[in-house]
Structure 1
Amino acid sequence: MDFPFPIRQECPPGACVCNREVLLDDPQADHRILRLTLQEEKKLVARLEQVASLEELRRMEARMAELLGIEVTITPSANEVRTTRGFRIELADRPGLCRKTRQNIPAAIRRSMDAHPEIAYAILDQGDLLGG
C-alpha cells in the first residue's frame, strides 16, 4: 500500500509487538499512527517535555488523538501519590503503536511533570484528591 506521507520504518524482527503488518494489510484500518516516524516521535517527545501547564498537556493529548489516533490516559494511583511515578500514564493499545513509543511518551510526560509540579497538582485536584 502506498501512502501520500512518509511512514515509520519497520522495527527489527522480534524487537516490537506493534502489529504493523496487520495495520498495513487492512486498507480500512486507521493508518494515522504510521505518520509518527522516528524524527516526528523525537519532535513530539521534545514538545511533551516542554509542556508547562495542565491545559497545554490536555491540548497536546487532543492533538495526538486527532492527528495520530493516540489516546493517552493519565490517572493518579489508587495509593498515595508522592512523586510522578505515582501517576499511571497509559497509551491505548492499538496496531502500529511501537513499543518504544509506548515508553517514550509517558516518560516525556513524567519529565514535564517533574519540571512543572503544578501539572501534577492540577491532575490531583481534578480528581478532588486535594479536597479543593
Structure 2
Amino acid sequence: MNASLPIRQSCPPGLCDCQLETLVHAPGADLRVLRLTRVEEQRLLERLERVASLDDLERIQQRMHDQLGIRTRIAPGYNEVRSMRGIDIEVAAQPGLCRKTRQAIVRAIRRGLQHNPELAYQLLNAHDLLRGT
C-alpha cells in the first residue's frame, strides 16, 4: 500500500512567486520542497530559532538542502557588522518555495542569532573577521 505524503498547499493565484503549479506539472522537477507542509515549516522555524552553535546551524542548513532542496547562505555583510542586521542571510528562490516561507526562514535564523550572540561571533570568526581580537 502506498501512503501518499502530505504536500504543501498552493498559494492563492497572483499573490505569490512560488510557481507551485508549474513545478507539479514539470517532468523531472525537484519535488522535495513540497514536503514542507505548514506544520513542518513551523517545526523548522522553531528549530532555527533554537540553534545552539555554528556547527548546529551548518548541520541544519545541510539537512534543509538534502531533504528539501532549500539553499541558504549566511555570511557577514559587505559593510561593518554592528548588529545582527549586518549579517546577510539569503534563502535562494526556487520553484515551490513561497516568498513568505523564505522570509520566515531568514527571520527565524536572525532571531536564533539574537538569542545566542556567541553564535554570531563564531560566524564572524569563521569568516576570519575577528582574527586579531
Cα distance between partner residues in 2 of 1:15 and 1:43: 24
Q: Which residue number corresponds to residue 44 of structure 1?
A: 44
AA paired with 1:91?
Answer: V
Alignment of 1:130 with 2:130, yes or no, is yes
Name the SS for the 1:95 alignment partner: coil
Contact 2:18 2:97 survives alignment (8 Å): yes
CA deviation digits over 1:2-23, x for unaligned, max 9?
x931110011122211111111
Q: Compute the displacement of 1:121 (Å).
A: 0.7
Cα distance between partner residues in 2 of 1:84 and 1:68: 26
Cα distance between partner residues in 2 of 1:131 and 1:124: 9
Q: Which residue number corresponds to residue 16 of structure 2?
A: 16
Cα distance between partner residues in 1 of 2:129 and 2:38: 37
Identity of aligned residues (%): 55
Cα distance between partner residues in 1 of 2:128 and 2:70: 26
Please, which runs of 5 or more residues in structure 2 have no aligned partner? none
AA paired with 1:73?
Answer: R
Q: Which residue number corresponds to residue 85 of structure 1?
A: 85
Q: Compute the displacement of 1:87 (Å).
A: 1.0
Equivalent runs, 1:1-132 vs 2, <5 Å? 4-132=4-132
CA deviation digits over 1:47-75, x for unaligned, max 9?
11111111110110011001000011001
Q: How many aligned positions are there? A: 130
Contact 2:113 2:119 survives alignment (8 Å): yes
Name the SS for the 1:90 alignment partner: strand
Name the SS for the 2:41 alignment partner: helix
Name the SS for the 2:130 alignment partner: coil
AA paired with 1:7?
Answer: I
What TM-score do the two structures reach when normalised by structure 1? 0.94
